[in-house]
């Protein structure tokens, strides 16, 4: 069986819907023919090459024209002029952010690292197959679920086959500072659409024999992630993604942890900490169920070494197998997901409990990394506020303005756990050294936004 045949190799969502690379391609809509169903460059070349940026644009435009299930927005432009795009999928596609299904929305972020293309190919064909699927289960799924996709999160890096963007920045280390246009675009999507689940697709190079599973996954480890959100992220990984990947014949493990090949016991942690600037952790701090998924890149057999297309197809198949687990999680856990994310986003208004400046779910914080009794607010002077106002706005942080151009950022708001990470001197990646206030000033004006009296 080859990619060129009409039975491509996948079958993604265990909902009756078929998603490329392995089941029969979905039936075309009324008036269309099988020959008009758009295909990626990867599919057309049978995996011999990755889909180019012009091919991606033609592919997405064709899918957009074919059905009201899909809407495409331009959410930014890279340093080299390439579009950053958000694909909205539903039955019908949500026309605005407020129309996204609460508790049943997922954001797929594909290929933040430009030299990790397999996740992007899985995302592109998933967009197409959700758009064209005719079975009842998929239609019902899309009536109840909003699927958001950033198909190429780093277009300049993908064009150059580099991990970083055109400026040499690692986008997945910029979800706090938002210095890159790519991270800024994603922050705006997180702020405006408030996806309940954020699913981040990557690839990794193995270290045999300790770190060599076909697909690895990891939830938010940051300790400012709400307990229920953390539990749901663990369930997504362990109860849905891992079993689906194993059923497809692939091995699985936890990202960042070397394991003894004989006992399976952890040996060493080499990555996957609680850094707040990494997307899966940023998502958790902001109240979303985050998951990082990484497939293995190296050729596994003599046949794959002789024919890179075989290796490429296996890489994409493993990502699609993981998605085959993720979509049923959204369907079956929607009530639990909504309860978890809603509670996490409301918790900040109570303004109670510690905020953590370090540590992780598998690494206790030091005493100096715990704000056991956080301040009421942080004060930015006029120069500090002018410098980071746009970053605070992109995150969705709220503030009170002073008559002298300064600002006070209260902790009593949805993003309470994020604010000290941005403004406290002791935070590892703070953007400004703001003055902590034990007593909040009097405020004049509307809810959350207003003026304070010095």
Tell me the per-residue pLDDT of 339-356, one tens digit each, with 9 for 90 and over: 999 999 999 999 999 999
Alpha carbons within 13 A on the beta-carbon side of 424:
24
> What's the whole-number mean pLDDT along residues 303-317?
98
Cβ neighbours of residue 108 closer than 8 Å, sequence gap 6 or more: 123, 126, 147, 148, 149, 150, 199, 201
In this structure, are strands 146-150 and 407-410 parallel, antiparallel, or unpaired?
unpaired
Alpha carbons within 13 A on the beta-carbon side of 353:
14
Global pTM value: 0.93
> What's the whole-number mean pLDDT along residues 205-226?
97
E strands within 142-244?
Answer: 146-150, 197-204, 215-218
Position 447 confidence tier, pLDDT thresholds 50, 70, 90:
low
* For residue 35, pLDDT beyond 60: no
All structural domains of the chain with their residue ranges: 34-344, 356-452
User: For residue 184, is the peptide bond before it cis, meaning its omega torsion is within 30 degrees of 0?
Assistant: no
Cβ atoms of 184 and 176 within 8 Å: the answer is no
pLDDT of the residue at 4: 30
Q: Which residues are paired to 450 by β-bridges?
A: 400
Question: Residue holding tokens 């899966």?
Answer: 280
* For residue 5, pLDDT beyond 70: no
Which 3 state secondary structure label does DSSP give 400?
Answer: strand
pLDDT of the residue at 102: 77
pLDDT of the residue at 104: 86
Report percent pLDDT > 90 for the chain: 86
Cβ atoms of 7 and 23 within 8 Å: the answer is yes
Cβ atoms of 354 and 372 within 8 Å: the answer is yes
pLDDT tens digits for 151-196?
999 999 999 999 999 999 999 999 999 999 999 999 999 999 999 9
Structure tokens at 158: 């993908």
Q: Which CATH class is domain 34-344?
A: alpha beta
pLDDT tens digits for 232-246?
999 999 999 999 999
pLDDT of the residue at 452: 84
Distance CA 36, CA 31 (A): 10
pLDDT of the residue at 454: 77
Report percent pLDDT > 70 for the chain: 91
For 226-243, give one letter per residue: b (16+ CB within 10 A) or e. Answer: bebbbebbbbbbebbbbe
* For residue 419, pLDDT beyond 80: yes
Cβ atoms of 383 and 397 within 8 Å: the answer is no
How remote is the C-alpha of 225 from its chain's centroid? 15
């Amino acid at each position: 069986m080859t990619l060129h045949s009409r039975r491509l190799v996948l079958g993604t969502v265990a909902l009756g819907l078929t998603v490329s690379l392995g089941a029969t391609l979905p039936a075309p809509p009324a008036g269309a023919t099988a020959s008009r169903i758009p295909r990626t460059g990867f599919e057309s070349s049978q995996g011999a090459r990755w889909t180019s940026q012009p091919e991606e644009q033609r592919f997405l435009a064709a899918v957009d024209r074919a059905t009201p299930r899909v809407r495409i927005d331009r959410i930014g432009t890279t340093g080299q002029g390439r579009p950053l795009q958000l694909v909205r999928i539903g039955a019908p596609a949500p026309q605005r952010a407020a129309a996204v299904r609460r508790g049943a929305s997922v954001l797929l972020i594909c290929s933040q690292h430009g030299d990790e293309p397999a996740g992007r190919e899985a995302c592109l064909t998933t967009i197409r197959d959700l758009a064209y699927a005719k079975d009842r289960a998929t239609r019902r799924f899309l009536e109840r679920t909003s699927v958001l996709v950033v198909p190429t999160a780093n277009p300049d890096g993908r064009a150059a086959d580099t991990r970083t963007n055109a400026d040499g920045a690692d986008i997945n280390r910029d979800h706090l500072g938002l210095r890159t246009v790519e991270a800024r675009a994603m922050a705006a999507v997180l702020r405006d659409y408030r996806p309940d689940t954020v699913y981040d697709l990557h690839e990794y190079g193995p270290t045999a024999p300790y770190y060599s599973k076909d697909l690895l996954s990891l939830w938010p480890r940051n300790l400012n992630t709400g307990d229920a959100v953390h539990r749901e992220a663990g369930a997504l990984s362990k109860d849905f993604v891992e079993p689906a990947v194993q059923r497809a014949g692939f091995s699985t493990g936890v990202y960042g942890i070397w394991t003894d090949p004989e006992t399976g016991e952890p040996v060493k942690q080499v990555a996957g900490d609680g850094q707040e600037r990494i997307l899966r952790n940023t998502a958790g701090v902001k109240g979303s169920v985050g998951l990082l998924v990484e497939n293995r890149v190296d050729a596994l057999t003599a046949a794959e070494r002789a024919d890179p297309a075989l290796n490429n197809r296996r890489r994409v198949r493993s990502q699609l197998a993981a998605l085959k687990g993720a979509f049923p999680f959204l369907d079956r856990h929607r009530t639990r997901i909504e309860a978890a994310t809603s509670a996490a986003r409301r918790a900040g208004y109570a303004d109670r409990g510690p905020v953590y400046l370090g540590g992780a779910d598998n690494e206790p914080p030091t005493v100096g990394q715990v704000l056991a009794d956080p301040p009421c607010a942080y004060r930015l002077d006029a120069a500090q506020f002018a410098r980071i106002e746009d970053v605070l706005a992109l995150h969705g942080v709220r503030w009170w303005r002073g008559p002298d151009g300064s600002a006070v950022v209260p902790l009593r708001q949805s993003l309470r756990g994020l604010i000290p990470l941005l403004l406290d001197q002791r935070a590892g990646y703070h953007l400004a050294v703001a003055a902590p206030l034990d007593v909040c000033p009097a405020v004049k004006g509307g809810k959350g936004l207003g003026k304070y009296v010095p």
